[in-house]
Structure 1
Amino acid sequence: MNTPDGDGPPADVAVIGLGVMGANLARNLARHGHRVAVHDRLPAKGTALLAQHGHEGHLLLTGTLRELSARLTRPRRVLLLVPAGAATDAAIDALTDVLEPGDVLVDCGNAHADDTERRAAVLRSRGLHLVGAGVSGGEEGALRGPSIMAGGTEHAWDAVRPLLESVAARAGTAVCCARVGPGGTGHFAKTVHNGIEYAVMQALAETCDLVLRRTDRGHTGLADLLTRWNKGRLGSYLVALTAAAAARVDPVTGTPFLDVVDDAAHQLGTGRWAAQAALDLGVPAAPLTQAVFARSLSRDREGRAAVRGALGPLRVTRARSGAEPAETDLHDGLLAATAVAYAQGLDTVRAADAARGRVTDLVRLTGLWRAGCVIRGRLLDQIADTLAARPDTPHLLAAEPLAHIVRTGTEALRRVVLDAVATGVPVPALASVLSHLDQLRTPRLATAMVQAQRDAMGAHGYRRVDRVGTYHTRWNGDGAEIRLDA
């Protein structure tokens, strides 16, 4: 590569935005032998980074974007880790003043795929390249090896691929870093990943709530249960961190940590984007949307208090010995719910492909999720293997081993949900999974009545099961049936 302008040795790559994720990714790059120019709009962040971690590798602090640009080899490669939305647009606008045609900008934030497409088009008109990279794994992943889902042109990807592959997670010998497709496909894959994450987290939380409310295990017993589950088919990053949360004792009060945590759950938008995408594409992703709704409802303090005051608080009693939800039912029901969450996420990717006329390699995508990312786990390993063996399967839940997991888990989940409903423990995600599975297995759905209703109120027509064509009944006339497409 060419030597940059300015004093001092050249930098291979720049990282802009030195929050936890940006700082850790910069450290990761430096640890792997790259010379990293770093910059943040708050100079103190860069100073602190070098003071604490400058010994880990070549970290070059720059005071301005122009100085940063001058320190980079060409074509310049700049990784952007700033908040999604207006902050990303502002940073890109500022960078276009100091970058040159041929340079590559990598947006490593949680961006909406449509925004990535828009930004790529603007940068392309100026001769610049944009790679939209979904980065999963949180602060620990950014430092020790994240899962990276990239989107953009092959030319742009080739320019940054060696850098990103060098710091990505490994699943055995496979690198969890790849170009998923053009444009915003990388960020869309990360959005779906986060939707799955929302659904699994909510199902896990509801299962834990049932254990705490309906059994005598307590927080220590719940932690022990989750730790055992983590050694088996439910083994995953999310189960492990949930066990740690259950086991933690608050150092201030000496009470279980979960008892002092506010139940108003926040969200940064990616789960909502995934739910919106599923709705727009017609994908029935009920657990995902219920997880988003659960977080939204949790933050409605005033509304919750008003209803609780008017109707009275729910009082859940502990189950009598032998009457509490069975451990095997809780396990198998949660496993089935997790399988459904993964399947619905991948269905959303397929539907997006069909709508945009592209094909995402689901085998490769699930391979990227096998290490480094938040939704990694043994069940996902099975899903990846299933897709590799049967890439054309019309529905993941119809392919083994997921079909077996769902078969055995459905009745277990039914018993868990029945107990929750009977005793007043809210389980919106688990109940939606059960309803989803029941709908898939029912030969005749209630939507036949919906079709009749639509025709009666708006003459929208309906199809029949006994002959071809689209028909309409003259409901307000003589009641005769006429064929609309004759």
Structure 2
Amino acid sequence: MENQAVIGVVGLAVMGENLALNLANHNFRTAVYNRTVSKVDDFISGRGAGKPVTGCRTIEEFTAALETPRKILLMVKAGAPVDACIAELLPHLQPGDIIMDGGNSFYLDTVRRERELKKQGILYLGVGISGGEEGALNGPSLMPGGNRDGWPAVEPILKTIAAQVDGVPCCEWVGPEGAGHFVKMVHNGIEYADMQLIAEAYGYMRDALKFNNEKIHRIFSNWSRGELAGYLLDITSDIFTFKDPESGALLLDKILDAPGQKGTGRWTSVAALETNTPVPTLTQAVFQRNLDADKELRIRGAQLLPGAAPDENDPMTADEIAEEISALESALYCSKLCAYAQGFALLKAAEREYGWPLNYGELALLWRGGCIIRARFLNDIKAAYDREPGLENLMFDEFFRDAVKRRQDGWRYAVAASALFGAAMPATASALGYYDSIRRADSPSNLIQAQRDYFGAHTFERKDRLRGEFFHNNWTH
């Protein structure tokens, strides 16, 4: 059939529509289908008008419009809708056809689907996509994984529509089965932490230092031109000066402090628990969203619970204020590093747990453009894994060791100052706790082992014996 589509997109919500436009704008003839047919009609007559897009009103029409092997990108809600969509497509597919799930699917669901569809000859890929609606339209970060046999057919398409940094597409094969969605999940876990760390720095400047939004804007703008440069710092700086169209006042001050979430941060924490991987900063960011979402609880807490009583009659000098700002910058940098170290540790755990060979330096490159956590910082991470591909922990790299050495006094000062003032910075504090824990050769957990053996005869190892030899003591005699 003439003018058959190179690729098809199922689901025309914001992300699906923008990805379809991205494909069409790169001259890939694209078939589109949506269960609500009116969305197809609106798209074809609206944003897709005049572009190489074929609108389809049934699954039969959609699959018939695709060249073989068919390449289908699902952009539907994660969970049961993905399974329902696959079931609807299957009677119209043939062995060798490729299904890509571009939603935020749970990685174990992707493992299950990839294995089930392989038995039927269908090549299933879980493609992590980051960048929001802007990235979907102009170039997202893509993290494809799944059945490797499907990769050669879609590689030139995905690499063309992905974000490009220094001529390199932010898209590369990640690994088998659910690796693509696992990597995207970890990306989101780091994103949760990054956003929380930025919010804590803002909260300290607003509440402890009494800075107005304009002054905070100038500080974040300055930070965004330095080593902290990245997308989240850029948009944060913009937010502080954006005016509310209704009132003309600053919009940020009108927004209720009750954040939402879609679950990928929680999945990261669960995966960390299941693989015995400590990710306290990533998890604290999830906990803090849960706590902050309960606005009524916090209002009641503000009424009932006493806090610190800082001396309001002792204003800081200009030099002291500059020191505070510098300390906050150091705290944000070091805590951000800890968040990435925890995320990459979780990726290493997945490699051990599931046998997925992951290239950590390449993953850092995938996140340099298009995605939410894109930042200058990632070039340093790539360099760290180039120096030592088997790096045990990102914090151990020589570049980052030196960076923390230069900044840790400010980091510690910021955490201590926030505690003394009563300005909650739990993610920042957890990052410092993580750093101090991994650098401590002798922890106090020997006491925990003694307690466990005392009440439950759980045994313990001895410092003066070889590892792997266990002992029990009769503590009551």
TM-score bucket (shorter structure): over 0.9
Give 1:356 deviation, angstroms.
1.9
Quickly say closer, same or farther: Cα 1:186–1:277, change in 2 above 3 A: same
Match for 2:443: what amino acid? L
Which whole-Å CA distance do the structure 2 matches of 1:312 and 1:389 have between them? 50
Specify the SS of the correspondent of 2:48. helix
Whether 2:316 is the aligned partner of 1:321: answer yes
Give the Å deviation of 1:307.
Answer: 3.1
Of 167, 187, 192 in structure 1, the residue corresponding to residue 181 of structure 2 is 187
Amino acid at match of 1:191: M
Which residue type is aligned with residue 267 of structure 2?
W
Structure 2 distance, partners of 1:358, 1:14, is: 28
Mapped contact 1:340–1:397 kept (Cα < 8 A): yes
Q: Distance in 1 between matches of 2:302 and 2:5?
A: 59
Say if 1:103 and 1:215 are closer, same or farther in 2 by CA, change over 3 A. Answer: same
Determine if the alignment matches structure 1 residue 267 to structure 2 residue 265. no
Q: Matches of 2:366 and 2:418 in 1, distance apart?
A: 36
Aligned match of 1:484: none
1:43 Cα deviation from its structure 2 partner: 2.2
Whole-Å Cα distance in 1 between the matches of residues 265 and 50 of structure 2? 35
Q: SS state of the match for residue 253, structure 1?
A: coil
Q: CA–CA distance in 1 between the matches of 2:42 and 2:241?
A: 33
Instruction: Provide TM-score, normalisation by structure 1.
Output: 0.93
Q: Is the 8 A contact 1:213 1:316 kept in 2?
A: no
Q: 2:275 aligns with which of 281, 287, 292?
A: 281
Q: Alignment RMSD, CA only?
A: 1.8
Q: Which of residues 229, 237, 244 in structure 2 aligns to 1:243?
A: 237
The aligned counterpart of 1:331 is 329
Pair 56,385 (structure 1): closer, same or farther in 2 beyond 3 Å: farther
Which residue identity is paired with 2:20?
Answer: A
In the alignment, which residue of structure 1 is the partner of 2:51?
57
**Preserved contact between residue 410 and residue 437 of structure 1 (Cα < 8 Å):** no
8 Å CA contact 1:366–1:384 kept in 2: the answer is yes
Structure-1 residue corresponding to 2:11:
17
The answer on whether the counterparts of 2:453 and 2:473 sit within 8 Å (CA) in structure 1 is yes
Residues 1:92 and 2:100 aligned together: no
Deviation at 1:45, TM superposition (A): 2.1
Q: Taking structure 1 as reference, are residues 407 and 475 closer, same or farther at Cα in structure 2, changes over 3 Å only?
A: same
Aligned-residue sequence identity (percent) comes to 38
1:424 corresponds in structure 2 to: 422
CA positional deviation for 1:348: 0.3
Q: How far apart, in 2, do the equivalents of 1:262 and 1:355 lie?
A: 41
Counterpart AA for 1:420? S
Q: Contact conserved, 1:316 with 1:425, CA < 8 A, in 2?
A: no
Is 1:470 the counterpart of 2:463? The answer is: no
User: CA contact under 8 A between 2:179 and 2:356: conserved in structure 1?
Assistant: no
**Contact 2:4–2:66 (CA under 8 A) maintained in structure 1:** yes
Q: Deviations over 1:250-270 (max 9, x none)?
A: 222232222111111111111
Q: Deviations over 1:1-60 (max 9, x none)?
A: xx3xxxx62111111111111111000000111111111112232222223322462111
Residue deviations 1:453-479 (CA, integer Å, cap 9, x gap): 111111111112122332111013x3x
CA distance in 1, matches of 2:218, 2:41: 43
Alpha-carbon distance in 1 for matches of 2:182, 2:50: 33
Native 8 Å contact 2:43 2:49 kept in 1: no
Q: How far does residue 316 in structure 1 lie from its aligned partner after superposition?
A: 7.6
* Alignment of 1:79 onto 2:67: no
Q: From the superposition, tell whether residues 92 and 183 of structure 1 become closer, same or farther in structure 2 (CA, over 3 Å).
A: same
| Matched AA of 1:73 | E
Q: Distance in 2 between matches of 1:146 and 1:448?
A: 48
From 392, 395, 400, the counterpart of 2:393: 395
Superposition pairs of residues 313-462 of structure 1, within 5 angstroms: 320-322=315-317, 323-324=320-321, 326-462=324-460
Give the unaligned 5+ runs of structure 2: none
1:296 to 270, 278, 290: 290
Cα deviation 1:210-241 (Å, max 9, x = unaligned): 11112243101111111111111000011101
Q: Is the 8 A contact 2:176 2:356 kept in 1?
A: no
Does residue 234 of structure 1 match 2:232? no
Secondary structure of the 1:37 match is strand
Amino acid paired to 2:277: V
Q: CA deviation at 1:170?
A: 1.2
Return 5+ residue gaps in structure 1 as ranges.
Answer: 479-486
TM-superposed deviation, 1:444: 2.1
Provide Cα deviations, 1:435-455, integer angstroms capped at 9, x if missing partner: 111112223212111111111
The whole-number CA distance in structure 2 between the counterparts of 1:312 and 1:337 is 28
Q: Deviations over 1:172-228 (max 9, x none)?
A: 121211111110000000001111111111001100111111224310111111111
**Contact 1:234/1:377, CA 8 A, preserved across alignment:** yes
Indicate the SS of the match to 1:178. coil
Alpha-carbon distance between aligned partners in 1 of 2:134 and 2:407, rounded to the nearest angstrom: 33
Distance in structure 2 (CA, Å) of the matches to 1:461 and 1:411: 40
Closer/same/farther in 2, CA of residues 247 and 288 from structure 1, 3 Å limit: same
- After superposition, the C-alpha distances for 1:396-431 in whole angstroms (9 at most, x for unaligned) are 111121112222232212111111111111111001
SS in 1 for 2:95: coil
CA distance in 2, matches of 1:239, 1:389: 28
Who is 1:101 aligned against?
95
SS of the residue 1:177 aligns to: coil
Name the amino acid aligned to 2:106: H
> What SS does the aligned partner of 1:61 have?
strand
| Whole-Å separation in 2 of the counterparts to 1:209 and 1:430 | 12
Q: Does 1:201 align with 2:195?
A: yes
Counterparts of 1:41-56 in structure 2 under 5 Å?
A: 41-55=35-49
Query: Is the 8 Å Cα contact of residues 213 and 317 (structure 1) preserved in structure 2?
Result: no
Q: 1:282 to 1:446 in 2, by over 3 A?
A: same
1:358 Cα deviation after fit: 3.2
SS in 2 for 1:303: helix
* 2:221 equivalent to 1:223: no
- Offset, 1:98: 2.1
Instruction: State the 1:317 CA deviation.
Output: 7.8
| TM-score normalized by the length of structure 2 | 0.95
TM-superposed deviation, 1:122: 2.0
Name the aligned partner's letter for residue 473 of structure 1: N
In the alignment of these two chains, the number of paired residues is 471
CA pair 119-317 structure 1, distance change in 2 beyond 3 A: farther
CA contact (8 A) 1:452 1:462 kept: yes
Amino acid corresponding to residue 154 of structure 1 in structure 2: R
